[in-house]
């Protein structure tokens, strides 16, 4: 199985500041035949199911604010929130759908400083 490792486990950022979450996969999730990274980012708030933010590593889901962006390729990926808002407090997960056994990172808890 591909192991997804996120860093940090938790993060406290001031309102209006940038938040950066990293995700590293134990093997590449870049599919050579279509040149796509099979990597998504989810946001989960307490008591709610996860919400898709980013897919194909950098494509923002419809309706997701443009302060959210994804980058990276191969094995190293980043989710960036350019200007943190109060409603962004949540746990964030990276997720690979490259292999037959899909896996999630352990999650990063984002709080307001």
Partner 1 sequence: EVQLVESGGGLVKPGGSLRLSCAASGFTFSHAWMIWVRQAPGKGLEWVGRIKSKAEGGTTDYAAPVKGRFIISRDDSENTLYLQMNSLKAEDTAVYYCQFTNHAPAFVDYWGQGTLVTVSS
Binding site for partner 1 (CB under 8 A): 1, 40, 42, 44, 49-50, 52, 55-56, 59, 61, 91, 93, 95, 97, 100-107
Residues whose CB is less than 8 angstroms from the CB of residue 8 and which lie 6 or more positions away in sequence, other chains included: 21, 108
How far apart, in whole angstroms, are the C-alpha atoms of residue 3 and residue 28?
11
Pick the closer one to partner 1 by CB: 19 or 41. 41
- CB atoms near residue 55 (< 10 Å): 19
Please state the φ and ψ torsions of residue 13, each to the nearest 5 degrees: -130, 145
The distance of closest approach from Cβ of residue 21 to partner 1 in the complex, given in angstroms and rounded to an integer, is: 13
- Tokens matching residue 3: 């192991």
Residue 3 or 15 having the CB closest to partner 1? 3
Of the pair 16, 101, the CB lying nearest partner 1 is at 101
CB of 42 to partner 1, least distance (A): 7
Measured from the CB of residue 33, what is the shortest distance to partner 1 in angstroms? 13
Longest C-alpha distance within the chain, in Å? 43
């Amino acid at each position: 199985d591909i192991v997804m490792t996120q860093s940090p486990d938790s993060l406290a950022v001031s309102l209006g500041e940038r938040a950066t979450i990293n995700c590293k996969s134990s093997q590449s999730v870049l599919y050579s035949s279509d040149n796509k990274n099979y990597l998504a980012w989810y946001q989960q708030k307490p008591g709610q199911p996860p919400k898709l933010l980013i897919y194909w590593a950098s494509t923002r889901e419809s309706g997701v604010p443009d302060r959210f962006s994804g980058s990276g390729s191969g094995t190293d990926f980043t989710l960036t929130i350019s200007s943190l808002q109060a409603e962004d407090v949540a746990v964030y997960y990276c997720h690979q759908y490259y292999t037959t056994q899909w896996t999630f990172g352990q999650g990063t808890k984002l709080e307001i400083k």
